[in-house]
Structure 1
């Protein structure tokens, strides 16, 4: 006779205790740092939570390691900026849009021509000759188009500074950011998802740096190192309703987004599609033997994760109010998100949210706490031994990396599957 009591749902005591502890920490931050500071921290935490959910879809669901989260965050930030900032009337009143459009059409024509040449083998052309012709056509076309592009870009910078934006809603920019990141993910996936997983790591890492370099040097499009600010918010801004109210409204918007994303991911995880994805993750050979399309499912997972990263990057950039290509760093926008997923539990959406909140609070508060501790120690050392150390602010910021590293090592040692690990359903 089966023991039915063993099948009754248990109280999630572990999860309740962990989230209660985080809630106590958040209340402490509110009490010590003030409401405006704590609310800003929570908004940024919510944006990082969206990024972490995107990574847990790729890594936790599909076993795909994405080392280029920063690139998709930057794409989302650029899309939010381009869509929402005011229109540059000087640019559109000149002949520059027509010239720029002509160059872009020429670039598309070169790409189409290269693709056509690469398929000449269907007409009986030897493969070596097809490859040679494709390389020659691509190289010549690139040199011609890039020379035209430099001329147009130089004129844009000298005459109107940069192209400006579209002056539309920031929320539309967030959607475009997700679509742009998803499109880039599709491009990477078409090349790399059919190969071994280590090629995906190399490709995403390289593409992220290429995206950052392009945005940094395309002064005609992004103003490069000159940055673009201020960026409009999708909610009333601090100048209209005050810092605390505006940030609370922004937090409410991001919380609704997280709730919707969490609900959709939860449904997908427990649906047949989710079980199929996890089966592919755990044993590709067995899944392929059952007739599952491995590459297609990998593509779906990777693109969907990139879309979430683009949306999160767009929301984060809009909140900070400035688009600075140099501000996207692998430490902040790739490694930190990876730590959130590892600490919370890959493949567990609730664990990912917990990891995002905990890691970002530790990341933000470890600097002020380290500075206070250093000031206390150096004060005592100055009284007793005559110490006079300098540059404490910089050292306190560096302490954040040490604290995060110590945290992740501790978790990997005592909870290698995360603090809230993935629960694999067992069926008799």
Structure 2
């Protein structure tokens, strides 16, 4: 009896010509910045671009992997920056050497007890209490306990601000704050995800925008914890600082740390993307009904990917905060810490980790260099106008050049959405015949 034998021949791998050309162009741009702006400025640019690459990787796994549009990146970046400050700033003896920690702890325990009482009141219907009466009791109890706890809390925080300025830090290494920054952002992301992941598309975006603004407002107005608008500086680095080895070498050492961090994150995400877990996440993104019919827990997987993205945003925010050596709640802006990250992911390609890293570095170079380039062109035009037509030179060229950033980024995202809607390095989805 004849047997039919089918040989499967693997298709030869195509040389990634597109990727190689794009990264060569990016390398040429980086070298050009080094030649024009100098080593110290350019190295700082690369460090900040690497921090933004971590933020963009967090967004691309939410948006690219699972189709979750998180428009509140700024909030998780701020939480990471707070942890970088809180864990690395030296201990404030004026606070810890007094009775204030005990008073603060006592009030916080009151708050925990109040929450437990309210939760218990919400379950009185299990004891036979009518639901309407249960609701009234729970609301009244929540209002009364809130007034009592917030009054005691304000008394303690006023004493902290008047006697110790603020709580201070824990004096631990900077990398400890990075770890806790990711953990805090992930914890807040879990709480948000439990509530908001039932929303879709623009509704989820609106919810995350509001939550990000709430986080920023809390950090800005908690003078006892963050010094608010007074800022906290300097924040320690995990490597020798500029005062020890000079600006260029210190920034190069910091860049090596961020590069290793990105390499580890990229490796883990690459493994996860090509593992069964990654295929399941993409299946939920592409056809949620079919994935649910196959027995997949949709809500759990969506929550997992949202929390994972928030963890990376928290880590990126902590690394960026440490590098800036400053914690300023007012410095977290939707344009810089949400919209810019979104442009990076769009340019590189949602769902493509390598494309996201490319987009982060490319967009950040354009973002920084558009100001000096616009200033140069404006000065050239003014010089020509003065010589040829006798124009009066304007006095606010610097501020006008700064606004050119927004114009250039807007033009960039318009061109990308028109000619490469899936990004310059789109996600590669394998199809099996």
Are residues 122 and 286 of structure 1, via their aligned partners in 2, closer, same or farther at CA, if it must alter by over 3 Å?
Answer: farther
Q: 150, 153, 159: which one pairs with 1:146?
A: 150
Q: Paired residue for 2:247? A: 243
Report if the CA contact (8 A) 1:56-1:352 is conserved. Answer: yes
Match in the other structure for 1:297: 301
| Displacement after TM superposition at 1:192 (Å) | 1.2
Query: What CA deviation, in whole Å up to 9, does each residue of 1:228-273 have, x standing for no partner?
Result: 0011000111111111111001000000000000000000000000
Long gaps (5+) in structure 2: none
Q: 1:394 is matched with which residue?
A: 399
1:281 and 2:295 equivalent?
no
Which residue does 2:219 correspond to in 1? Answer: 215
User: Is 1:173 aligned to 2:177, yes or no?
Assistant: yes
1:414 is matched with which residue: 405, 408, 419? 419
TM-score by length of 1: 0.98
Moved more, 6-15 or 283-292: 6-15
Q: Deviations over 1:158-195 (max 9, x none)?
A: 11111110000100000000000001001101111133
1:185 counterpart residue number:
189
**Post-superposition offset of 1:201:** 1.6
Q: Is residue 310 of structure 1 aligned with residue 311 of structure 2? A: no
Counterpart CA distance in 1 for 2:375 and 2:49 is 22
Question: Matched residues in 1 for 2:94 and 2:170: separation?
Answer: 13
1:104 pairs with 2:108:
yes
| Distance across 2 between alignment mates of 1:93 and 1:337 | 42
Deviation at 1:146, TM superposition (A): 1.1
Give the Cα–Cα distance (whole angstroms) in 1 for the partners of residues 245 and 71 of structure 2: 39
2:162 aligned partner: 158
Q: Which moved more, 1:376-385 or 1:50-59?
A: 376-385
Secondary structure at the counterpart of residue 7 of structure 1: coil
* Displacement after TM superposition at 1:4 (Å): 7.4
Distance 2:121 2:193 in 1: 23
Aligned to 1:132: 136
* 1:70-104 per-position Cα deviation (integer Å, ceiling 9, x unaligned): 00000000001000000001111111101111111
After superposition, residues 256-275 of structure 1 pair within 5 angstroms as: 256-275=260-279
Q: Could you tell me which of 359, 364, 379 is aligned with 1:375?
A: 379
Q: In structure 2, what is the Cα distance between the partners aligned to 1:349 and 1:127? A: 50
- How many Å apart are 1:115 and its aligned residue? 1.7
Mapped partners of 2:405, 2:82: distance in 1:
28
CA RMSD of aligned residues (A): 1.4
Please report how far the alpha carbon of residue 346 of structure 1 lies from its aligned counterpart in structure 2 after TM superposition: 0.3
CA distance in 2, matches of 1:402, 1:198: 24
Q: Secondary structure at the match of 2:314?
A: helix
C-alpha separation in 2, matches of 1:152 and 1:393: 45
Shift of 1:203: 2.0
Secondary structure of 2:341's partner?
helix
Q: Give 1:8 deviation, angstroms.
A: 1.3
Partner SS, residue 76 of structure 1: helix
Could you say what secondary structure the match of 2:232 adopts? coil
- Superimposed CA distance per residue, residues 106-144 of structure 1 (whole angstroms, 9 cap, x where no aligned partner): 111111222222222333333333322222222221111
- 1:79 counterpart residue number: 83
CA deviation after TM superposition for structure 1 residue 10, in Å? 0.3
CA distance in structure 2 between the partners assigned to 1:362 and 1:397 by the alignment: 12
102, 122, 125: which one aligns with 1:121: 125
1:397 CA displacement: 0.7
Q: What SS does the corresponding residue of 2:237 show, helix, strand or coil? A: coil
1:336 aligned to 326, 333, 340, which one? Answer: 340
Judge conservation of contact 1:188–1:203 (CA < 8 Å) in 2: no
Where does residue 346 of structure 1 map in the other structure?
350
Separation (CA, whole Å) in 1 of partners of 2:308 and 2:146: 31
**Contact 1:343 1:408 (C-alpha < 8 Å) held by counterparts:** yes
Determine the structure 2 residue equivalent to 1:321: 325
CA distance in 2, matches of 1:331, 1:76: 18
List structure 1 segments (4+ residues) > 3 angstroms apart after TM superposition.
1-6, 195-199
Shift of 1:2: 9.4
Deviation at 1:3, TM superposition (A): 11
CA distance in 2, matches of 1:82, 1:242: 26
**CA distances 1:379-400 after superposition (whole Å, capped 9, x unpaired):** 1112222232121111111000
The 5-angstrom pairing of residues 5-84 of structure 1 reads 7-84=11-88
- 2 CA distance for matches of 1:110 and 1:298? 32
Deviation at 1:360? Answer: 0.3
